[in-house]
Amino acid sequence: WLMSMTDLIHRLMTIFSYLGQIMVVMFLPAYLFWDVSFPWLGVAILIVAPFINALLQLLLSRIREYDADYTAAMLMGSSRPLALALHKVSHDEPYMLRKFFVPQEEQKRASILQTHPKTETRIKKLLAMKIPENIPKMF
């Protein structure tokens, strides 16, 4: 629900930004030929706001991934099985097959542009997690 709402806000912000930019272009002749003041700070905000919103949405996605790991560990009563499963999934794929189907994997993206945290970081956080003893275990 939260990620759906952030996506909706991002889409609306992008639409309003485009509409604002179109209005700026429409009123540009008034600025050039008549003595009309123009809110340049507002124009800069119209241009930059969707990008900042997208970065915040990516950050929230990474935070929610850690939250999902924590909730899964709490339900299981231990974080070790989830850490082992993450390790197995990330290291047991056939390298050549993955290289054939995903040739751009070698390129590194900036961590701020990733939707999920690195698997190694998730495993380290899971193994360092302390589960309270009074939580009822489901499995």
pLDDT digit string, tens, across residues 15-62? 988 888 888 888 888 888 887 787 888 888 888 888 888 888 888 888
> Do residues 129 and 73 lie in contact, with contact meaning Cβ atoms separated by under 8 Å?
yes
> What's residue 135's pLDDT?
63
pLDDT digit string, tens, across residues 122-133? 888 888 888 776
Sign, CA torsion 27/33/36/39:
positive
Decide: helix, strand or coil at residue 122. Answer: helix
pLDDT digit string, tens, across residues 95-118? 555 555 555 555 565 666 676 778
- The residues near 64 (Cβ < 8 Å, ≥ 6 apart) are 2, 3
Q: Is residue 87's pLDDT more than 80?
A: yes
